[in-house]
Amino acid sequence: MDDKIRASFTGLASQDKGIQNEAFTHILGLTDKPVDWAYEVWDDMVRWLASKDNHLRAISAQILCNLAKSDPNQRILKDFPALLTVTRDERFVTARHCLQALWKVGLAGKKQEQLLVDGLAYRFNECLSEKNCTLIRYDIIQDFKNLYDAMQDESLKEKALELISTEEDVKYRKKYAGVWKSR
């Protein structure tokens, strides 16, 4: 890892939001593609998932999702439950940032895809009692769509449509199904 990347990771913990945002944007751009330094920061990202700072929880969740494609040792399989925990964060914006990035874990391989699909289906069904259930469900369906668009795996679409069919409220069933309409 070069000094500029290392400085960006240091910047993630900055109290200066400008520095933090610049570092975050830089790292997200770098991790859009596989990187060879993922394990140099992996443990920090996992540890930050439980930080007292909700910004660090959101940042680390999104970076970890991006790093899943740079994980030949499949550590994400062990650390995925910690990511799923962040989707229940006390700060909904933090939970939502994690949830909206979660689909990227499925790009890392078949085992990761199956773990993601099972985790998303579980969250879809368990979130009924949560305050923002409809937004959570919408994000989950969008995760399926994003992964489908990247992989063209029909089983992803089938699973999403199966979940949508369990929605009792017709208004929300239509809203979720709208994610799958051509744009």
Q: How far apart are CA 25 and CA 107, in angstroms?
A: 21
What's the pTM value of the predicted model, to 2 decimals? 0.93
In the chain, where does DSSP find H-type helix?
3-12, 17-30, 38-48, 54-67, 76-86, 92-101, 110-126, 133-151, 154-165, 170-178
| Dihedral of the alpha carbons of 78, 81, 83, 88, in degrees to the nearest 10 | -170
**CA distances to 43, 67, 164 from 83, in Å:** 13, 13, 23
In the structure encoding, which two tokens stand for residue 180, read together? 């799958």
Q: How far apart are CA 2 and CA 70, in angstroms?
A: 17
Q: How far apart are CA 78 and CA 171, in angstroms?
A: 37
What's the pLDDT at 78? Answer: 97
What's the pLDDT at 125? Answer: 95
Q: How far apart are CA 104 and CA 135, in angstroms?
A: 19
Q: What is the pLDDT along the chain (183 residues), one digit of tens a residue?
A: 888 899 999 999 989 999 999 999 999 999 999 999 999 999 999 999 999 999 999 999 999 999 999 999 999 999 999 999 999 999 999 999 999 999 999 999 999 999 999 999 999 999 999 999 999 999 999 999 999 999 999 999 999 999 999 999 999 999 999 999 865
Q: In the chain, what are the domains? A: 3-178 (1.25.10.10)
Residue 57: count other Cβ atoms within 10 Å of its Cβ: 23
Q: How far apart are CA 150 and CA 80, in angstroms?
A: 20
Say whether 88 sits in a helix, a strand or coil: coil
